[in-house]
Every structure is written in C-alpha cells, then in structure tokens.
Amino acid sequence: MTRERILDTRTGGTVAVTCPAESGISYLMRGAADPFHPWHGRAWWFWIVQFNRMLARGVRPGAAYRYARMMMTGGCSRRQAIEIIAERDCGHLGTAIEIVDIDDLPKDRTYRAAWRRSRNGGPVWVDEDRAQQIDEERMWRDFDARA
C-alpha cells in the first residue's frame, strides 16, 4: 500500500484525502507496452476515447491529456505519477492540492468529518464546533439504540 496521500481543500474548508492505488501508479510508470497493463493491445485511438470520457466527467483538459498520454507511453517517475493522479482526480474538485506522507495526517480519525484546512493549503486541523456536533450525534445515536 502506498504511503502517499493526496490532500485537497473542498468547499467550506473540508479536507478530502485520496489514496492513489499502487497499480495505478505502476500503470503510469510503465505504459501500455506492458502486457499486464489494462490498455495493452488496445487500438491506437483508445486514449482519445478515454480522454473524452475524462472531459465528460469534468476533468480539466490538460490533466486528462497528461494522464491519457502517460497511460499509453509510461516513462514517468513515481512522484510524477502521483502528481498526474492528483491533477486528474482532485484538480477539478478542490484547491490546494498537496501530496503528503500518511504520517503527516492526524492519527485519530474520530473527527475525520471535522478536519479543516485553509484554501491555500497548510496543516490539517480539527474544527471544534463540528467535532462537538459529531459527539452529540454519536451520543444521540447511542441513546436511541438503547431506548
């Protein structure tokens, strides 16, 4: 499992954490010439179909092109592959995209829904008001389950 995580700030300052798949990183590094690649043996125009599908999903054209090109040709480093995944999967959904090690994230996931971050990036912090709401919701759920 990869130790890298992709952070981006969504509307309202909420934090999205994306874990890039090890196989996806490998596909971008090796390209479609590898016989185990999902695009191996496809027609030369297959990358155009995938490019258009990404555009239909709202992915930015530059990110879609870079991803499709690397899926076909390969040749990028591990870090570049993660950057391509971040640009494609998070670029159109949030701001302040950052690649961090898993150890840089808070260990306690109890208040995961209360994680916040500046629109310009920076450290992840816990919104105390939202954490209190989470505690109240949990207590009411427990109370209703006993009743």
The one-letter amino acid code at 134 reads I
pLDDT at residue 58, rounded to an integer: 95
Does 96 map to a domain? yes
Distances (CA, A) of 91 to 7, 13, 25, 123: 11, 15, 17, 19
pLDDT value for 55: 96
Distance CA 49, CA 55 (A): 10
Q: Name the domain count of the chain.
A: 1
In a domain, 131, yes or no: no
Q: Which pLDDT does position 67 carry in this prediction?
A: 96
The pLDDT value given to residue 70 = 95
Buried/exposed 20-48: b ≥16 CB within 10 Å, e otherwise = beeebbebbbbbbeeeebebeeeeeeebe
Domain coverage including residue 47:
4-109
Residue 95 belongs to some domain of the structure: yes
Q: What is the pLDDT along the chain (147 residues), one digit of tens a residue?
A: 789 999 999 888 889 999 999 999 999 999 998 899 999 999 989 999 999 999 999 999 999 999 999 999 999 999 999 999 999 999 899 888 999 999 888 888 888 888 888 888 888 888 899 999 999 999 999 999 887
Q: Is 18 domain-assigned?
A: yes
Note whether residue 142 is domain-resident: no
Question: What's the CA gap between 105 and 117, in Å, rounded?
Answer: 12
- Decide if 124 is inside a domain: no
pTM assigned to the model: 0.85
